[in-house]
Chain A
Amino acid sequence: MLALKEVGKTYPNGVHALERFSAEIAPGEIIAIIGGSGCGKSTLLRAIAGLDHASTGSVTLDNAVITSPHAKIGIIFQEPRLLPWLSVADNIGFGLADLPAEARRARVVAALARVGLADKAAAWPRELSGGQAQRVAIARALVPQPEVLLLDEPFSALDAFTRRDLQDHLLDLWADTRPTLILVTHDVDEAVVLADRVLVMRPRPGRLFEEITINLARPRDRKSELFDTFKRRVLTALDRSLDRSVRDVTDKSSAGEAMWW
């Protein structure tokens, strides 16, 4: 269980990026965090990753307080951030340095095959397309088998087709070990296609605005009417989150409830 308790962040320059964000996230759950720019979504993700300290509140994973990067928490950034001097295989095995060579080799080979890049093992990162590079980044993050995988707008730099392809691929990989996924995105479609719950944030300072449960069976049909309904719902929440006249409430809602718009 990943617990965020009143997490707040004020940067040294005085910017109040995040305020009293609380959420409990069950193992294996997929959470999408969505919101306008400056709503603190990346700040929140970095606090969960242990890359930045929260100014107030706490992040705990199975009762262990997270203050620095943790073995059970992996992260995928917006850019692949592959190490250009390592081959694709070496990049994927980067986090496995503690393993004996044979075990590492086996894990890397399996991961390469799993993301469909077995033929690129010896390639340099510069020889990969954007989508392939992000696949390698996903494999690198998943290969140490984290319990929580954080994704910071992982597909936003990719074209629409590659993005869709990788979203499906991510779900496929998630099904292997079912880690908790927390995905920061600004793509409503992506949030609805992937997440069990969408957390809508509002900016200045970043706060949780509304929580929308997406109880749609997987695989989700992007063209179905129900899918559209959920998308509209998230969009409406986003619009309301930017409207300063709307009071700051945390609505819990699910598909069965009355459609208030």
Chain B
Amino acid sequence: MGKSILIVDDSASIRQVVSLTLKSAGFDVIEACDGQDALNKLTGQRVHLMISDVNMPNMDGLTFLREVKARAEYKFTPVIMLTTESAEDKKMQGQAGGAKAWMVKPFQPEQMLVAVNKLVGP
């Protein structure tokens, strides 16, 4: 059974690209369309890594990060934040000390796989 990864992004196409890439590398993928959706889908199951967008409706990535870190079972789960090359997102980077890594969109799927493997092992 593969390690499971949660991907949170309001853009369905990005979710799909990330999810397909990870699945083809043997990971199990849980998809969520915003922070709230992600929190609803985290029901205590083991998640090895979370990848989250920052700018999302309903609950943005930083709020999600804070909420998920407040849950005992996900306190140590590494989180990769996805961001874009915008001034707004750059400001936000400073606010998310809990994230393990940042990836700037657009990225090549292979790049992401390298980062993922680094954090959770192949």
Please say whether chains A and B are actual partners in one complex: no
